[in-house]
Amino acid sequence: MSRRRSPQRTQSTLRLVFSACSACVALIVVAGAQTPPKFDSNRAWGHLQHVVSIGPRPAGSAAIEQTRKYIKDQLSAIGLKATEQAWDDETPLGKVHMVNLIVSIPGASRNRLAITGHYDTKLFREFPFVGASDGGSSTAFLLELARVLKARKNALTIDLIFLDGEEAVIDWRGNDHTYGSRHYVEAARRDGSLASLKAMVLIDMIGDRDLGIRRDSYSTPWLTDIIWQTAAKMKLSNYFLPAPTTVEDDHLPFLSAGVPSVDIIDLDYEAWHTRRDTLDAVSARSLQVVGDVLLASLPQIEQRLTAGR
């Protein structure tokens, strides 16, 4: 801020403007009408129902290809184009074809905020695992968020990244996990685009009917503070709990690369990695809470990142 104005003068100037030009009032009303749409959990729920109906969606499967088509079609319907970042990764089960989907929503700055989530589901051979919260909720959430952010005036360019291969092909050890985030960060490092990535918000397993998101200790404190304090102001601390936890997830490769990151995840989920992670175990209300809190947190996140700190 480089200019100061005396409050008195501002007031009299305003009075003059209002009395001289009644059309201005109409203009202000029109400007007010352009506030971006709110996160609509009914729409998100529709996406969730659709992706769950596809069935199990592990990396490399025909079903995840079908999921990608749905994501791309839905984005295209609101005028957004998803770019595919495709590669074949080495897994304990051999080479698996994986694809991250990236949607860039322009903002005032070319500096970027990434909002990410995985869209694959864990492979279980013993039962059909449809991952309503684990894989489904993040996919549905990002799709609805895309609609809201497209209509919003964003200070930074926002990249929504649908990550593939978050789940272990066999067990969460060694490199058998977070294939998509590791690939994205490595590629961004190589092509130099990592420099413009100023922060990352990870959304994972937010569908739980009994939503309780604890503060992840690996996540960047200032970014976590903004979101949890916003939730507290909105009287939503019964969902964004002050209790700490530690979670290994897609944020770790970003953190290792020096990108401030936060993981919004409810891992206290009874149905986690069981046949019970179905639509019965999740609720639209949970998606709404996270959508409302994240959107209310964005101005402060943008402020922090554009202040060049």
Which residues contribute to the site for Zn ion (CB under 5 A)? 122, 134
Residue closer to Zn ion (CB basis): 136 or 260: 136
Smallest gap from Cβ 205 to Zn ion, in A, equals: 7
Give the pairing of strands 94-105 and 82-91.
Answer: antiparallel
Residue closer to Zn ion (CB basis): 134 or 263: 134
Distance CA 309, CA 270 (A): 40
Smallest gap from Cβ 117 to Zn ion, in A, equals: 12
Smallest gap from Cβ 129 to Zn ion, in A, equals: 9
Residue closer to Zn ion (CB basis): 120 or 144: 120
Mind spelling out the 3-state secondary structure of the chain?
Answer: CCCCCCHHHHHHHHHHHHHHCHHHHHHHHHHHHCCCCCCCHHHHHHHHHHHHHHCCCCCCCHHHHHHHHHHHHHHHHCCCCEEEEEEEEEECCEEEEEEEEEEEECCCEEEEEEEEEECCCCCCCCCCCCCHHHHHHHHHHHHHHHHHHHCCCCCEEEEEEEECCCCCCCCCCCCCCCHHHHHHHHHHHHHCHHHHEEEEEEEECCCECCCCEEEECCCCHHHHHHHHHHHHHCCCCCCEEEEEECCCCCHHHHHHCCCCEEEEECCCCCCCCCCCCCHHHECHHHHHHHHHHHHHHHHHHHHHHHCCC
Residue closer to Zn ion (CB basis): 68 or 122: 122
Smallest gap from Cβ 172 to Zn ion, in A, equals: 9
Residue closer to Zn ion (CB basis): 154 or 274: 274
Residue closer to Zn ion (CB basis): 155 or 282: 282
Residue closer to Zn ion (CB basis): 122 or 214: 122
Smallest gap from Cβ 74 to Zn ion, in A, equals: 23
Smallest gap from Cβ 188 to Zn ion, in A, equals: 24
